[in-house]
Amino acid sequence: MTVFNPSAIDLPICDIIPQVRRDLADSPTVILSSPPGAGKSTVIPLALLNEPWLKGRKIVMLEPRRLAASSIAHRMAALLGETAGGTVGYRVRFENQTSSRTRIEVVTEGILTRMLHQDNALEDVGMVIFDEFHERRLHTDLSLILCRESQQVLRPDLRLLIMSATVDTGQLRDLLGAPVVESGGRLYPV
C-alpha cells in the first residue's frame, strides 16, 4: 500500500484535505475550488489514494492537455519517490505510461471518453477527478454526463471530484447538488 503524507508538503491545499475526505465519504460528487499553484492537481489525488470508499480501485484524473497530463503524473510519482508508470501513470494519445501497479491514472479527454465507451460502469475505477474543469470542451461535458449517469444507474459508489481555479462554483453546486470545498492560495510579491 502506497502511503503519502501531505503534511510533509507546505502547500495551501493541504489545509482542506480533511474536509475533502469527509465530503467524499458522505457525497458521491464534490466540487473543489482553489487558486492556481495551491497544489490541487498533484496533492489531492495522492491524499485520497487509500480512502476506504475506493475499495482498492484506481483514481482516474482527467487533464485537458497532454503535456499537463504527463507533467502532473511525473510530479505525483516523484512525490512518492517513484517514476511514472508505477503507482501513478498517465495515458495520452500515442503514449501509455501505466502498469498493473498503477492506482492513479492521469488521462486526456479522448482517453476518458474511450474508457467510458468500453466500460460505462468503470468497474476498476473508484473515483474520476475532473481537473481544470473551467477548460471544458465537448469531451469533458460528455465524460461528466456519462460518469453521472453511471453513478445514478450502475455505480452509486463511484466518486466524482470536480476541481477548478475559476469555475462558477455556485452554479455548478446548484446543477450537481454537490458540496463545495474552497482552498486559499498564497500571494507572492511581484
Instruction: Walk along the chain (190 residues) and give the pLDDT tens digit of each residue.
Output: 566 666 667 787 888 899 999 999 999 999 998 888 788 899 999 999 999 999 999 999 999 888 889 999 999 999 999 999 999 999 999 999 999 999 999 999 889 888 988 998 899 999 999 998 766 677 788 888 888 999 999 999 999 999 988 777 777 788 888 898 888 765 544 4
Secondary structure class of 115 (helix, strand, coil): helix
pLDDT at 5: 67
Judged by phi (left if over 0) then psi (alpha if -120 to 50, else beta), residue 19 lies in alpha
CA distance 183 to 37: 11
Under 8 Å between Cβ of 54 and 126: yes
In the block, residue with C-alpha cell 488521462: 107
